Structure 1
Amino acid sequence: MFDRVLIANRGEIAVRIIRTLRALGIGSVAVHTASDADARHVREADTALQVPKYLDMEAIVAAALASGAQAVHPGYGFLAENAAFARRCAEAGLVFVGPPAAAIDAMGDKIRAKATVSAAGVPVVPGGAEPDDALERWDDFPALIKPSAGGGGKGMVLVRSAAELPDALESARRTARAAFGDATLLIERYVENPRHIEIQVLADTHGNLVHLGERECSLQRRHQKIIEEAPSPFVDAATRARMGAAAVEAARAVGYTGAGTVEFIVDGTTGAYHFMEMNTRLQVEHPVTELVTGLDLVELQLRVAAGEPLPFGQDDVRLDGHAIEARVYAEDPARGFLPSGGRVLALREPASPGTPAGRPREIVRVDSGLVEGGTVGSEFDPMLAKVVTWAPGREEAYRALDRALAATAVLGVVTNVPFLRALAAHPAVRAGELDTGLVERVLPELLPEAGPPADALAAAALVFHAMPQGGDPWEVTDGWRVGEPAWTTWRLETRDGVHAVRVRGLPERSAEVLSESAGEPGEERQEPASVRRSGAALAVTIGGRTLHYLHARTGDTLWLGRDGASWSFTRHLIGDPGDRPGAAGAGDGVVRSPMPGTVLVVKAQLGERVSEGQPLAIVEAMKMEHTVTAPRDGVVSELPVQAGQPVEMDAVLAVVTPEEA
């Protein structure tokens, strides 16, 4: 076994690999860019070295050699499926913890992969591919465009008519070139409402090859997985055996070694399955397989890479209980899932409940790259953490997942946790009636309401009211007057506007709050209230009901978190603008960036006449593109940005002035 391993990755997967290395007594070496110098994986590794970029092969190989590492674990993303990197490691005398470069080549190119597994007898989805003109001539809609060199759903575009095809090809090529360095595309017949089921395989260098059962990955949005589980509620033992055998044959066809995943599209009505692609690396959702099999896939990867045979055969694989994983993203579902960012002001992550000796009734596992004080920027993938639960049964595992998500709080960064709780609780999900289009169909039911709830607004006003106001007794906000105490009106600015809440008295003793009633909208109710603080924990009692929050402050902004949701509040003073910058209406013609990121393309020119809805620019953040459009007909009178320029959220991208002006 190795003495030291370099991890060519960052975030939660690097932290997760470090955990196994530590358990095996192997030294861990982290790499980081300048902006990532204080990241969690850097703090937890035994050694850390700076590199210019995570994609810089030469710098990473040099770091591995300088650190004395014998092997490189690529995690997933970045260089994990880069055959040139695997070859470069071998040239430098380093073991690449992954499959041979030839297998990466064969399966990394989706066009070649389909041909290879088809020849091995594995069914594939009908389609066409470049370099011929099959894409431009495609007439079987709906269809799915994919980057041939890609993975993880990036660059995939669903096309429902010939009219959509040219723009879809342009967008897919641009994304493929940026993400994978290869703009080659393929097109496939789109299977309506399919299930996405994948098989985990393991192979050693001694000819042993097994599968570890399936994972259900049908809960997706824009081809990005959200919640995964093992085993699938759809797959019975006979189907598992057939799909597992097909996955093994697909891996065998390319001389595969190590851990890999064969992905299938499955017709939810007939059960017919077709090979979609093979991911020649560890998958994001590997923890659910680990929890139902009791195996450590990273440890097995390391042992195979060191030349050891697999310590078990196919007949030894057993699936026990049910496991579910939810991906926590830095994104705002209320704003169309746009990427978010910021500094982590306070963090709470769930843990497994205490249990008597013996088999635990449930397991909660969090794979996270988060740390208090860390910054979530726009240059990397938005996934922050994974909350994973195990229980003896599927319904128990989903109940455990809801409790774990409710105990998750990330203050300072907007996350998708409330959306995950709503999705996990949906009746179709609980019934196991899944397909890849389900999330999009029920999306309006899953989105959180705009703005914070009334109890959070009242709690924020009480916290502001309880803050020290200075030494001047005339500045104490208890509202003392001769006769009845006076009310203090707190105007609180949130992402959806400005709210007014009235408070009087001292919250740490006895106060009153005039807040929105739980009855008819618009009604107010006067209730006794108090606030108790203990570190970052906050207990707010209003009208006899106590709610517990996590809270943090930065400057004039207060963050509150409860039940997996979080909200930010800023004190809004008289004379401040009545609207947030991002709330500007179409009438003023100002076009602002909906997220922090980089201007990818400017599609308009200064002085150009444009129509309402016409694309003006494309902003990219966390590998996601967002097109901003003209809010009205007119002339582009201001265009202060150019391609490649970084922008903050709400930064002005353009101004469209009415032609008559």
Structure 2
Amino acid sequence: MTTPFPTALSGAHTVLVANRGEIAVRIIRTLRRLALRAVAVHSDADADAPHVRAADAALRVPDYLDAAAIIEAALAAGASMVHPGYGFLAENASFARACAAAGLVFVGPPPEAVETMGDKIRAKRTAAAAGVPLLPGFAETPGRPMSDAELAEAAARVGYPLLLKPSAGGGGKGMRLVRRPADLAEAAAAARREARSAFGDATLLAERFVERPRHIEVQILADAHGNVVHLGERECSLQRRHQKIVEEAPSPLLTPDRRAAMGKAAVAAARACGYVGAGTVEFVVPAAGSAVPGTAADHFFLEMNTRLQVEHPVTEAVATIRGERGIDLVEAQLRLALGEALPFTQDDVSWSGHAVECRIYAEDPARGFLPTGGRVLLLDEPAGPGVRVDSGIAEGTEVTSAYDPMLAKVVAWDRDRAGALRRADAALARYTLLGCGVNTAFLRALLARPEVAAGDLSTELTERLRPELAAGGQAGEEVLAAAALDRQLGLRPAAGTANRFAVPDGWRLGAPAWTVWRLRPAGGDAVTVRVRAEPGAPDRFQVRLGDGEPVPATAARSADGRGLHVVLGGRAHRYARAAAGRDLWLGRDGAAWHIREETRTAPLRRTAAPADGAVRSPMPGTVLAVPVAPGDTVRAGQTVAVVEAMKMEHPVTAPCDGTVAELRARPGQSVVLDALLAVVTPASGPERSAPTATEEQS
């Protein structure tokens, strides 16, 4: 990266990074470039994490939210500065003050600015006083929630649809969209519960909801000498669950005049709260041709994030200072925290090319983006011109529900937007992670949409397209055939095997027999695949899926076992592969499939999985509530348990009408993916059990 700062960083500093994952690795990369000593902290689960290995030293802390332990670690390590990253304590004013009291430089804004902008109600009042447009809305008084009647009256004045938000936090947690007065009270109660769990504060604010809005944010830098500049905007409209998954810079919507107007508003908001450091001012922008009743503005203050943002790399890729592209925002944070003045003005800032960032999440788009988990068995990250990967994982990393499901970011730069989108897609096609379900294939499908290519974006676009985009990630016949062939290769006899009949690969003195595999792809029904080796040709096979016709195939694993080459019916494919017991992972072109080998002779029932009345957890998490009891009569779709993951509530519902025959879930219980929570006996009576192996063979 280039730097607009003309002098060396003053002092020989040791910096403690009070974070984990990709952001800690990214901060440490800058510290190494600046020849500063980097100290990491880690929980017990992260003792061998990549950010720990990247640092010069590492100290254990009980929890990343334990401010006292982190300050104690910083002092023990001889640190003079603490960089909070983002999340955890990054926007905690008390932590910033505690750092100062301990003689440590907090790499962030003054505590007063954190408090002002960390409370959405105060933030909006501050922005309004600075002349920044706001959406019509209202807010509760902290510590005094509105009654249902007061809520209804205030909402009627603002108008529907209405968006409820926690005052104390972000990340989409606790947000509820209310379209009808009849839904307001229930939505407010749920929003308060989630806000209290995530942020310790149930205070809500509400604002008029903009249909199909765009989410555009502006990066600012401010020094302690009164200088504030903006580095342009980022388009963050591609989201799921109110959280961003694809960001780009610059926005395809903004003209130079509109960019200047929004930049001016962001600078005014920063000045109004006495900001110092790197920050982001976020705006809601109505779709082209639409307007918000009661106001003539074309952009509205949403909030200010008083920290480095996840999506900062796209700004680093395009922002140009006096003709040099590639400013390092972490370096800027360090220098501004040490009291340096900005060495450039707004007139020195321009932009070059286009950048796109795609977030790699441990989640399943086909199941509503629910978090996944598992051990990373194989990881291959892309590289090359115009491609950057910020990653916090390695092979062997255990991905759990204890932390945010974002694992890495793939960033692509090119001279124009079309080129950046192509380069991002190509990079995603080369990104392979096996052992934990991720959203890479979904991201590729999203980037390929004509709406995205045309820049016709909105915050609801991803959710609206999800069923169509997620369907392409299911394991098709080619993948299932490849999985069966890989399993078949695993049956080969070891060299020197004396009793050839003892090897269960279908070998016979005459013609080889069919080996029957029963395979279940994650999220799908089990499928029967039959494989038979060609006589005298151990690498050539016949494959039958279900009742289909035999198809000729060849298959071979790579020497290291990490690859599988398959030719099926004349079509050749190379897969990345990783296996753990009966679980097989195959990856190709950015997609990954988890396929489990089941009993080879006993078929599973062909009806939909929920027909057996089993209620299973759709993700790893913690049981928050169990509103039913054994013997209760329930209706299909009625909530049986509420599971919390990543501080968000997920109701788990009855699959059919019936009676709660068994209840295993209890509040506070930790559960894994697909854990049995309850069993509902269908109202029409129990279903016939699946046939046994003996029944099938007879």
**C-alpha distance in structure 1 between counterparts of 2:577 and 2:405, whole Å:** 23
Where do 1:604-623 residues align within 5 Å?
604-623=628-647
C-alpha displacement at 1:206, in angstroms?
1.4
Paired residue type of 2:552: E
Question: Which residue of structure 2 lines up, in the alignment, with residue 57 of structure 1?
Answer: 67
Where do 1:501-516 residues align within 5 Å?
501-505=529-533, 509-515=538-544
**C-alpha distance in structure 2 between counterparts of 1:342 and 1:202, whole Å:** 39
Deviates more, 1:39-48 or 1:410-419: 39-48
User: CA 1:501–1:639 in 2, change beyond 3 Å: closer, same or farther?
Assistant: closer
**C-alpha distance in structure 1 between counterparts of 2:542 and 2:429, whole Å:** 27
Question: Which residue of structure 1 lines up, in the alignment, with residue 518 of structure 2?
Answer: 491
Question: Which residue of structure 2 lines up, in the alignment, with residue 357 of structure 1?
Answer: none
**C-alpha distance in structure 1 between counterparts of 2:218 and 2:421, whole Å:** 22
Paired residue type of 1:526: V
**C-alpha distance in structure 1 between counterparts of 2:195 and 2:113, whole Å:** 21
C-alpha displacement at 1:4, in angstroms?
0.9
Question: Which residue of structure 1 lines up, in the alignment, with residue 369 of structure 2?
Answer: 337
TM-score by length of 2: 0.89
Deviates more, 1:569-578 or 1:233-242: 569-578
Deviates more, 1:586-595 or 1:391-400: 586-595
SS of equivalent to 1:558: strand
Where do 1:23-422 residues align within 5 Å?
23-131=33-141, 133=146, 135-137=151-153, 138-139=155-156, 140-270=159-289, 272-293=298-319, 294-353=326-385, 363-422=386-445
Q: Is the 8 A contact 2:555 2:564 kept in 1?
A: no
C-alpha displacement at 1:543, in angstroms?
3.6
**C-alpha distance in structure 1 between counterparts of 2:556 and 2:505, whole Å:** 14
Deviates more, 1:265-274 or 1:303-312: 265-274
Indicate which of 528, 549, 554 corresponds to 1:500: 528
Deviates more, 1:633-642 or 1:304-313: 633-642
C-alpha displacement at 1:524, in angstroms?
3.0
C-alpha displacement at 1:546, in angstroms?
2.4
C-alpha displacement at 1:522, in angstroms?
6.8
Q: CA-to-partner distance for each residue in 1:162-200, whole Å, 9 max, x for gaps?
A: 122122112211121121111111000001111111000
C-alpha displacement at 1:385, in angstroms?
0.6
Q: CA-to-partner distance for each residue in 1:369-390, whole Å, 9 max, x for gaps?
A: 1100110001111111111100
**C-alpha distance in structure 2 between counterparts of 1:231 and 1:62, whole Å:** 41
Deviates more, 1:537-546 or 1:305-314: 537-546
**C-alpha distance in structure 1 between counterparts of 2:15 and 2:646, whole Å:** 28
Deviates more, 1:29-38 or 1:402-411: 29-38
**C-alpha distance in structure 1 between counterparts of 2:657 and 2:478, whole Å:** 42
Question: Which residue of structure 1 lines up, in the alignment, with residue 577 of structure 2?
Answer: 551
Q: Is the 8 A contact 1:508 1:532 kept in 2?
A: no
SS of equivalent to 2:169: coil
**C-alpha distance in structure 2 between counterparts of 1:636 and 1:538, whole Å:** 46
Q: Is the 8 A contact 2:486 2:555 kept in 1?
A: no
Segments of structure 1 that go 5 or more residues without pairing to the other structure are 354-362
What is the aligned length? 646
Paired residue type of 1:303: R
**C-alpha distance in structure 2 between counterparts of 1:309 and 1:301, whole Å:** 11
Q: Is the 8 A contact 1:198 1:216 kept in 2?
A: yes
**C-alpha distance in structure 2 between counterparts of 1:558 and 1:12, whole Å:** 27
**C-alpha distance in structure 2 between counterparts of 1:492 and 1:613, whole Å:** 29
SS of equivalent to 2:73: helix
User: CA 1:12–1:164 in 2, change beyond 3 Å: closer, same or farther?
Assistant: same
SS of equivalent to 2:351: coil
Paired residue type of 1:284: V
Question: Which residue of structure 1 lines up, in the alignment, with residue 688 of structure 2?
Answer: none
Paired residue type of 2:533: G
Q: Does 1:654 align with 2:678?
A: yes
C-alpha displacement at 1:33, in angstroms?
1.1
Q: Is the 8 A contact 1:334 1:449 kept in 2?
A: no
Paired residue type of 1:534: A
C-alpha displacement at 1:154, in angstroms?
1.8
C-alpha displacement at 1:589, in angstroms?
2.8
Q: Is the 8 A contact 1:143 1:190 kept in 2?
A: yes
**C-alpha distance in structure 1 between counterparts of 2:475 and 2:37, whole Å:** 46
**C-alpha distance in structure 2 between counterparts of 1:224 and 1:335, whole Å:** 16
**C-alpha distance in structure 2 between counterparts of 1:269 and 1:303, whole Å:** 40
User: CA 1:136–1:22 in 2, change beyond 3 Å: closer, same or farther?
Assistant: farther
Indicate which of 422, 445, 464 corresponds to 2:487: 464
**C-alpha distance in structure 2 between counterparts of 1:553 and 1:659, whole Å:** 41
Question: Which residue of structure 2 lines up, in the alignment, with residue 358 of structure 1?
Answer: none
Q: Is the 8 A contact 2:517 2:600 kept in 1?
A: no
Q: CA-to-partner distance for each residue in 1:55-78, whole Å, 9 max, x for gaps?
A: 111111111111111111111111
C-alpha displacement at 1:508, in angstroms?
8.3
Question: Which residue of structure 1 lines up, in the alignment, with residue 294 of structure 2?
Answer: none
**C-alpha distance in structure 2 between counterparts of 1:450 and 1:530, whole Å:** 23
**C-alpha distance in structure 1 between counterparts of 2:547 and 2:260, whole Å:** 59
C-alpha displacement at 1:476, in angstroms?
4.0
User: CA 1:80–1:154 in 2, change beyond 3 Å: closer, same or farther?
Assistant: same
Q: Is the 8 A contact 2:109 2:276 kept in 1?
A: yes
SS of equivalent to 1:561: strand
User: CA 1:577–1:488 in 2, change beyond 3 Å: closer, same or farther?
Assistant: closer
Where do 1:576-615 residues align within 5 Å?
578=604, 585-615=609-639
SS of equivalent to 2:513: coil
Paired residue type of 1:175: E
RMSD of aligned C-alpha atoms? 2.1
**C-alpha distance in structure 2 between counterparts of 1:228 and 1:595, whole Å:** 26
Q: CA-to-partner distance for each residue in 1:362-419, whole Å, 9 max, x for gaps?
A: x111111110011000111111111110000100100001111111111000011111
Indicate which of 539, 543, 557 corresponds to 2:565: 539
C-alpha displacement at 1:542, in angstroms?
2.6
**C-alpha distance in structure 2 between counterparts of 1:534 and 1:380, whole Å:** 36
User: CA 1:124–1:184 in 2, change beyond 3 Å: closer, same or farther?
Assistant: same
User: CA 1:331–1:380 in 2, change beyond 3 Å: closer, same or farther?
Assistant: same
SS of equivalent to 1:135: helix
C-alpha displacement at 1:489, in angstroms?
2.5
Q: CA-to-partner distance for each residue in 1:75-120, whole Å, 9 max, x for gaps?
A: 1111111111111111111111000000001101010111111011
Paired residue type of 1:290: E
Q: Is the 8 A contact 1:418 1:448 kept in 2?
A: no
**C-alpha distance in structure 2 between counterparts of 1:573 and 1:455, whole Å:** 21
Q: Is the 8 A contact 1:419 1:448 kept in 2?
A: no
Q: CA-to-partner distance for each residue in 1:273-294, whole Å, 9 max, x for gaps?
A: 0111000010111010000011
Paired residue type of 1:564: G
**C-alpha distance in structure 2 between counterparts of 1:606 and 1:509, whole Å:** 55
C-alpha displacement at 1:135, in angstroms?
3.4
C-alpha displacement at 1:638, in angstroms?
2.7
